[in-house]
């Protein structure tokens, strides 16, 4: 499957090389915004979404202030006469269909589930923008940053990501791979049903992960969805230093911020590993430590894969 993906990107790269370099590019998706603003030439971007200017959700807010913005409406895009429109696979579907019917070139981006897929997407967008060397440099920068992370331990600390409304990072997700690169064992990969699963508060407390990753915008306005993140039942995690706050923008989209997320998690991993070592050592003459409930109740990673 990986070889097929690489071959497809190479084919698209060659196809992009034979097409004219677009002079006016519009983006209708936040993650597309970030790639376009990082990879395009100055003056090549005709419009990005309004979300790109919000520093709570965007990693390129400063760059987005230099270009016009849109709200994903066809009547905003058509007058711009773009020669390339980049969209997401799950957003602005009505607008995307209309733009295609009008004969505009549309490049649709999926949601990468691995770092290799993320790198392929960067190369793909850079090739179509006519800046392949910029895409290659960005991939090289990210690979180098991940290579500098500490090697995972034989028994990595367990972790659960908790987002507003109890959403988590489950199996088969890009955040899940970032967690693994940072040396964490993602318990939600065994608890959640899919990569966008939800966990009840009781499940999180009962699982007792070594690290609780609170994944939300710290300066977001108050909301019922965020109430779960400050529930009294989670105070013990914060009080013991087992909680780490990670802005959700750091791994929502493809880009160098993924390595920043991994670095923050690696620091939390180191703290958790040291705390586990101190806790595991029994007092002189005392009984040996016992495995946690999550260790005894859940299958090992190998068992879960079978």
In a domain, 173, yes or no: yes
CATH number at residue 192: 3.40.50.1980
Q: Poorest-confidence range of 187-201, 233-247, 254-268, 285-299?
A: 285-299
In a domain, 284, yes or no: no
| Stronger pLDDT, 17 or 205, i.e. the higher one | 205
pLDDT of residue 216: 83
pLDDT of residue 273: 72
pLDDT of residue 238: 83
pLDDT of residue 126: 98
Of 94, 124, 146, which one is at a domain's C-terminal end? 146
Positive or negative CA dihedral for 120, 123, 127, 128? positive
Q: Are residues 74 and 164 in the same domain?
A: no
Structure tokens of 275?
């705390």
Q: Poorest-confidence range of 81-85, 218-222, 273-277?
A: 273-277
Widest Cα–Cα separation across the chain:
79
**Mean pLDDT across the stretch 69-79?**
97
CA dist 59 and 61 (Å) reads: 6
What are the start-end ranges of the H helices in 19-83?
Answer: 30-39, 61-64, 74-77
CA dist 45 and 82 (Å) reads: 9
pLDDT of residue 195: 54
Of 146, 179, 203, which one is at a domain's C-terminal end? 146
Percent of the chain with pLDDT over 70: 82
Structure tokens of 218?
């710290």
Q: Are residues 65 and 141 in the same domain?
A: yes
Q: Are residues 177 and 267 in the same domain?
A: yes
Domain range spanning residue 272? 151-279
Q: Are residues 75 and 169 in the same domain?
A: no
**Mean pLDDT across the stretch 34-60?**
97
CB 197 within 8 A of CB 169: no
Helix (H, G, I), strand (E, B), or coil: what is residue 174? helix
CB 187 within 8 A of CB 158: yes
The structural domain count of the chain equals: 2
| Stronger pLDDT, 220 or 66, i.e. the higher one | 66
Helix (H, G, I), strand (E, B), or coil: what is residue 109? strand
Q: Are residues 33 and 81 in the same domain?
A: yes
pLDDT of residue 284: 53
| DSSP assignment letter at 198 | B
Residues, the chain: 306
pLDDT of residue 288: 45
In a domain, 242, yes or no: yes
| 2-40 per-position pLDDT tens digit | 444 444 444 444 544 458 999 999 999 999 999 999 999
**Mean pLDDT across the stretch 243-268?**
95
pLDDT of residue 51: 97
In a domain, 301, yes or no: no
**Mean pLDDT across the stretch 39-55?**
97
pLDDT of residue 275: 67
pLDDT of residue 222: 78
Of 146, 172, 197, which one is at a domain's C-terminal end? 146
**Mean pLDDT across the stretch 166-188?**
92
Q: Are residues 177 and 115 in the same domain?
A: no
In a domain, 288, yes or no: no
In a domain, 125, yes or no: yes
Q: Count of alpha carbons within 13 Å of 33, Cβ hemisphere only?
A: 29
| pLDDT for residue 132 is more than 60 | yes
Cα 112 to Cα 27, 57, 83, 227, distances in angstroms = 18, 18, 25, 29
Q: Are residues 182 and 56 in the same domain?
A: no
| Pairing assessment for the beta strands 45-49 and 69-70 based on DSSP bridges | parallel
| pLDDT for residue 78 is more than 80 | yes
Q: Are residues 166 and 257 in the same domain?
A: yes
| Stronger pLDDT, 290 or 200, i.e. the higher one | 200
Q: Are residues 106 and 199 in the same domain?
A: no
Name which of 161, 280, 174 is nearest 211 in CA terms: 161
Q: Are residues 163 and 252 in the same domain?
A: yes
- Tell me the average pLDDT of the chain: 85
CB-based contacts of 300: which residues, under 8 Å, 6+ apart?
none
| Stronger pLDDT, 240 or 306, i.e. the higher one | 240
pLDDT of residue 282: 53
């Amino acid at each position: 499957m990986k070889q097929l993906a690489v071959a497809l990107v190479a084919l698209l790269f060659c196809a992009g090389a034979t097409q004219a370099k677009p002079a006016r590019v519009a983006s209708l998706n936040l993650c597309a915004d970030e790639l376009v603003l990082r990879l395009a030439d100055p003056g090549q971007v005709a419009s990005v979404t309004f979300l790109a200017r919000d520093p709570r959700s965007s990693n390129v807010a400063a760059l987005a202030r230099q270009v016009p913005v849109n709200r994903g409406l066809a009547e905003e895009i058509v007058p711009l006469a773009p020669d390339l429109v980049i969209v997401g696979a799950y957003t602005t579907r009505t607008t995307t269909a209309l733009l295609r019917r009008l004969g505009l070139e549309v490049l649709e981006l999926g949601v990468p589930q691995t770092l290799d897929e993320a790198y392929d997407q960067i190369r793909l967008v850079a090739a179509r923008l006519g800046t392949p060397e910029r895409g290659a440099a960005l991939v090289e920068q990210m690979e180098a940053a991940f290579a500098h992370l500490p090697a995972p331990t034989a028994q990595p600390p367990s972790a659960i990501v908790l987002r507003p409304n109890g959403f988590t990072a489950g199996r088969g997700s890009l955040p899940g791979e970032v967690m693994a690169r940072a040396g964490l064992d993602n318990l939600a990969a065994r608890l959640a049903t899919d990569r966008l699963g939800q966990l009840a508060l009781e499940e999180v407390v009962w699982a007792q992960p070594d690290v609780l990753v609170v994944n939300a915008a710290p300066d977001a306005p108050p909301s019922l969805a965020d109430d779960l993140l400050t529930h009294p039942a989670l105070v013990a995690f914060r009080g013991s230093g087992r909680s780490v706050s990670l802005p959700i923008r750091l791994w929502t989209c493809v880009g160098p911020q993924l390595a920043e997320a991994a670095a923050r998690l690696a620091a939390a991993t180191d703290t958790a590993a040291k705390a586990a070592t101190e806790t595991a050592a029994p007092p002189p003459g005392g009984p040996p430590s016992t495995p946690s409930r999550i260790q005894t109740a859940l299958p090992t990673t190998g068992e879960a894969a079978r």
